[in-house]
A = this chain, B = another copy of it.
């Protein structure tokens, strides 16, 4: 099987060894799905704006709405998505709820994304 595993594409172009390698390094389907879900959360400009606003300070829902020119409902819905993705966390104080970034991954991921955009 010297030249035989470099077949034309009827089967595989690449060497068997590479196929093995690719398949063995590939994470479980569920993890890939979760990863896609995470990026999906970042994949909306409204949510990106909300995250950027929270870069500077914790803010309550109506602050965010006013700052970004969005309705209270839209912001609340999106905060729910961000919270589900563990990207923001709430702190309740009386009737108002303050949101802040959940951890540093948010900052590093967005920074990395920006780098790619700007090159």
A57 contacts which of B18, B44, B59, B112 (Cβ < 8 Å)? Answer: B18
In the complex this chain forms, how many copies of it are found? Answer: 2
Q: How far is the CA of A110 from the CA of B105 in the complex (A)?
A: 12
A38 within 8 A of B: yes
Chain A binding site: helix, strand, loop or mixed by DSSP? Answer: helix
Q: How far is the CA of A116 from the CA of B1 in the complex (A)?
A: 42
Q: How far is the CA of A62 from the CA of B26 in the complex (A)?
A: 18
- Asked if A35 contacts B14 (CB within 8 A), the reply is no
Most chain-B Cβ atoms within 10 A of its Cβ — which of A39, A56, A86, A96?
A39
- Asked if A59 contacts B26 (CB within 8 A), the reply is no
- Asked if A117 contacts B34 (CB within 8 A), the reply is yes
Q: How large is the interface on A (under 10, 10 to 19, 20 to 34, 35 or more residues)?
A: 35 or more
- Asked if A35 contacts B109 (CB within 8 A), the reply is no
Interface residues in chain A, defined as those with a beta carbon under 8 Å from any beta carbon in chain B: 9, 11-14, 18-19, 21-23, 25-27, 29, 31-45, 47-49, 52-53, 55-57, 59-60, 62-63, 66-67, 86, 96, 103, 105, 108-110, 112-117, 119
